[in-house]
Structure 1
């Protein structure tokens, strides 16, 4: 079974990016027009940053008081648990697996739009300090 040249080009681009970066994170979208926003920032209601964070804080305190069994979790750990259970947070899910991103890119995909895979070097992002790479 032979693969198309387009698919091989994609795999080569991913391989080149992975070879240039020690750690790579992937994210798949079923529609290339989607913005790279977390669930908290996908609302159609325009809000300023303080309103978004206030809403997230309200949800966080609600889960902390009523919905979570292990109240010894640190703030970020509880946000991770909330994100995993579908609560809108500022966190954006990434994977270290290209196959996982590919799954999410084609889950719910229709041929009317292009699917998309984002690649991110978290080490380079952390070292940017406001400077473009």
Structure 2
């Protein structure tokens, strides 16, 4: 019989295979179905171009009033875009398994196969650039002296630019400065796609032990939902804003 305890043991077994160091965190991500690939949403459509990516960034920066009175870098703006639904070249991760489990199950539909993805961020960065630690987003600028938008603009002028444009090819793990309530509540990290627009699974084989996937069996989903409730993981703790507080209270009191 499959149980939630069996699932946790499976997570621990896969975590061992990632060969994390004693002070190294494992990152997690939840998918509602195993068919979902580790590719940022901006690259999933058929009409992507560097120009459209630069344009959506500029318009968000120009029109999002909430950020105008705050000292936001290009990176802060990019992270806000991601959390408010704009398409970007970044993927969300967390160091909290409960948060990843929430995202895997919050829109669960019978017949789907939700999963947890596990990542050794240090191994990914070492694989991509030989720099094993998390990247400070500003350090990405320091490699060529340009902001994120500046790198996009230079890549548009010269798509083969590997110095002044998007200089990294494989995805990198970045440690954002958490200026958003959502980033704080979700213990958020990001991977940022480089010049290679294909999925992480396509770029890096599982045998490299940089990422692993664990399916969540349908039989344990009710037990997993109970776990989330017991540990106070819900819409409001993940998205701490007034609309989600209202929705949680309405649900709590069956109104």
TM-score, structure 1 as length reference: 0.78
For residue 104 of structure 1, report the CA deviation from its aligned partner.
0.8
The count of residues paired between Structure 1 and Structure 2 equals 126
Whether 1:16 aligns to 2:16 is yes
User: RCO (CA 8 Å, sep 6+): is it higher in 1 or 2?
Assistant: 1
Match of 1:60 in 2: 57
| CA distance 1:46–1:81, change in 2 (3 Å) | closer
How far off is 1:123 after superposition?
0.9
Give 1:18-57 correspondences, 5 Å limit: 20-21=20-21, 22-43=24-45, 45=46, 47=48, 51=49, 53-57=50-54
Aligned partner of residue 113 in structure 1, secondary structure: coil
Distance 1:4 1:64, change over 3 A: closer
1:60-79 correspondence to structure 2 within 5 Å: 60-71=57-68, 72-79=71-78
Q: Distance in 1 between matches of 2:116 and 2:94?
A: 11
The correspondence of residues 77-96 of structure 1 with structure 2, limited to 5 A, is: 77-96=76-95
Q: Structure 1 segments of 4 or more deviating over 6 A?
A: none
The 1:36–1:69 alpha-carbon spacing in structure 2 relative to 1, beyond 3 Å, is same
CA RMSD of aligned residues (A): 2.5
Return the offset for 1:106.
1.2
TM-score, reference length from structure 2: 0.44
Unaligned runs of 5+ residues in structure 2 are 131-203, 209-255
Unaligned runs of 5+ in 1: none
Please say which structure displays the higher CA radius of gyration: 2
